[in-house]
Structure 1
């Protein structure tokens, strides 16, 4: 299955969470969205917020300059 990618590097909180959620809501159940996030507040807040919303986190990978967060659409 193809992964969709959403590059939110440089996007402040909570806008990055809102954009992530809007993209996930457009996707079919089971599809994977890879979200690129900055370190610090974005990677601390967005995964927690998506989990609270009921999304399943597939993986979080530290790529050095930024993080890759893979989330499954509901």
Structure 2
């Protein structure tokens, strides 16, 4: 994975519902949260982002941080060695 330009497409996504995919496996906290939030801000309101996160601190911290920022978590699925998080950008700011 190129640390400057993380994947933006859904080519290797585990969900065909997502509008975009972000592979953050191997990315430490809080950088993985910052990259997730930046990607969501680039997306259209109502869009769905699939984020791949490592177990441990990333999966413990990122979902809670996103909820505190007002993002809607749609699903969290354990895959083979990582977690797939589906998060939706709200249609309007609260």
Q: Which has the larger radius of gyration?
A: 2
Aligned to 1:26: 42
Higher helix proportion (structure 1 or 2): 1
Aligned CA-pair RMSD: 1.1
If asked which structure has higher relative contact order (CA below 8 Å, sep 6+), I would say: 1
Aligned residues: 74
Which ranges of structure 2 fall in alignment gaps of 5 or more residues? 1-16
Please tell me whether the aligned partners of residues 71 and 88 of structure 2 are also in contact (alpha carbons under 8 angstroms): yes
Gaps of 5+ in 1: none
Normalised TM-score (structure 2)? 0.76
Runs ≥4 residues deviating over 2 A: none
Greater strand percent: which structure?
1
Normalized against structure 1, the TM-score is what? 0.95
